[in-house]
């Protein structure tokens, strides 16, 4: 008999990483965690050189089409360019942060140093290597953009959120990282084989109690992806763009690779920051990145579909491109999926276009 105090680990964590590659129908699939989403254009180009590149709904990068055994070369390359600082913790470095924090004057704190501190502290804590690969931290600077993305533990300004619910706890920036790590430890102590805090019975309340809080209402925030040019407080310019269906093409990489500060965002987009002016906007548009809010690609997403996923009933990406191309942006986000799993669907209100044996149905 398993004691209720003894977590059982019957299910292996199959979440892909760099060292644990998922065998997809189109080859190996590796996920590269990018805490906060920020990297240099040169680092982005280094990842792109390893295979087809996608931006995920957590602001990470995904490499597709790897040949058998290619993960060894991928890991070596990523280590060389500083994108694989830990082998033990590589799959738990799931941190989303407000992309424009500290740059555009919004928000009540600068989440950039907190992102760095959280990543370092996470990787330095051996016990936290046991976190599931799906466990997500969010650092929202108070503007309400990433706090609504379904993170397990988050700060929203001073508030600590647990699976989207207010824990009642309030923290200063200096206290934020220790409290988030304590929340992650509390989840590990409470879980049996759940992957997410929201899957754990009464999970937010149990973790809040361990932290000295008392869980309250769900916090409802819905952030918008940065699209177009934004003036930074230091006089530089940042430009946000949606990546059509989250797939970065060689043309996209060619333009982005020369930039010093690139962010992959959880809305399957990119932000290029610290630019002298908005001149790059035309170059991004010329290669097909969506720099206007009216573009359909600012609101349309799709799962891998055929041929990348053997479960898919259709080539949902080709069908989504054909359907939405040239049309205005949908009023509600739309997600196309090749089967009921609906991988990568948005967390907020959206329309699901689901492939069936007989075509598509809308839900």
Judged by CB under 6 A, does residue 341 bind ligand SF4? yes
Q: Choose, by CB under 6 A, the member of 342, 347, 348, 351 that binds ligand SF4.
A: 342
Nearest to 146 by CA among 281, 307, 269: 269
User: In the complex with ligand SF4, which residue's Cβ is closer, 263 or 314?
Assistant: 314
Q: Choose, by CB under 6 A, the member of 28, 204, 296, 305 that binds ligand SF4.
A: 305
Residues 311/301, Cβ–Cβ less than 8 Å:
no
Question: CA 54 to CA 264: how far, in whole Å?
Answer: 10
CB of 228 to ligand SF4, least distance (A): 30
What sign does the dihedral 274-279-281-287 (CA atoms) show? negative
Judged by CB under 6 A, does residue 337 bind ligand SF4? yes
CB of 312 to ligand SF4, least distance (A): 3
Q: Which of residues 312-331 bind ligand SF4 (CB under 6 A)?
A: 312
Place of tokens 């992957």: 195
Judged by CB under 6 A, does residue 338 bind ligand SF4? yes
Contacts with ligand SF4 by CB under 6 A: the residue count is 12
Number of alpha carbons in the 13 Å side-chain half-sphere of residue 309: 19
Q: With H, G, I as helix, E, B as strand and everything else as coil, classify residue 233.
A: coil
Taking residues 203 to 242 in sequence order and writing x for each that binds ligand SF4 by CB under 6 A, - otherwise, the string is: ----------------------------------------
Rounded to 5 degrees, φ, ψ at 199 are -85, -15
**Distance (Å) of CA 232 to CA 104, 105, 237, 273, 277:** 5, 7, 5, 8, 10
Judged by CB under 6 A, does residue 117 bind ligand SF4? no
User: In the complex with ligand SF4, which residue's Cβ is closer, 173 or 305?
Assistant: 305
Choose the stretch contacting ligand SF4; rule: CB under 6 A; options: 47-55, 96-104, 177-185, 335-343: 335-343
Judged by CB under 6 A, does residue 304 bind ligand SF4? yes
Secondary structure of 334-348 in the HEC alphabet? EEEECCCCCCCCCCC
Structure tokens given for 118: 């959280």
CB of 28 to ligand SF4, least distance (A): 15
Residues 217/165, Cβ–Cβ less than 8 Å:
yes
The binding site for ligand SF4 (CB under 6 A) comprises: 303-305, 309, 311-312, 337-339, 341-343
């Amino acid at each position: 008999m398993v004691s209720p105090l003894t977590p059982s680990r019957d299910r292996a964590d199959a979440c892909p990483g760099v060292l644990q590659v998922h065998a997809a129908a189109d080859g190996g699939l590796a996920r590269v965690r990018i805490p906060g989403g920020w990297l240099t254009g040169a680092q982005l180009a280094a990842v792109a050189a390893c295979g087809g590149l996608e931006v995920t709904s957590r602001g990470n990068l995904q490499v597709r089409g790897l040949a058998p055994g290619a993960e060894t070369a991928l890991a070596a390359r990523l280590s060389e360019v500083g994108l694989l600082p830990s082998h033990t913790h590589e799959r738990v470095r799931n941190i989303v942060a407000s992309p424009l924090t500290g740059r555009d004057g919004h928000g009540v704190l600068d989440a950039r140093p907190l992102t760095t501190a959280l990543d370092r502290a996470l990787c330095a804590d051996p016990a936290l290597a046991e976190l599931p690969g799906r466990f997500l931290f969010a650092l929202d600077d108070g503007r309400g953009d990433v706090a609504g993305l379904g993170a397990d533990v988050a700060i929203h300004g001073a508030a600590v959120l647990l699976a989207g619910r207010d824990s009642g706890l309030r923290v200063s920036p200096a206290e934020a990282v220790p409290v988030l790590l304590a929340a992650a430890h509390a989840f590990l102590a409470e879980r049996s084989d759940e992957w997410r805090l929201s899957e754990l019975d009464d999970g937010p309340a149990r973790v809040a109690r361990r932290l000295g809080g008392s869980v309250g209402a769900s916090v409802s925030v819905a952030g918008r992806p940065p699209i177009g040019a934004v003036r930074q407080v230091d006089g530089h310019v940042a430009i946000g763009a949606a990546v059509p269906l989250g797939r970065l093409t060689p043309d996209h990489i060619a333009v982005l690779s020369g930039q010093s500060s690139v962010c992959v965002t959880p809305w399957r987009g990119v932000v290029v920051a610290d630019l002298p002016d908005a001149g790059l906007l035309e170059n991004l548009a010329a290669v097909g990145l969506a720099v206007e809010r009216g573009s359909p690609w600012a609101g349309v997403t799709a799962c891998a579909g055929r041929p990348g996923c053997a479960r898919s009933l259709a080539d949902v990406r080709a069908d989504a491109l054909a359907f939405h191309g040239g049309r205005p942006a949908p009023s509600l986000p739309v997600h196309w999926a090749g089967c009921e799993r609906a991988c990568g669907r948005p967390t907020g209100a959206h329309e699901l276009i689901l492939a069936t044996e007989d075509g598509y149905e809308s839900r």
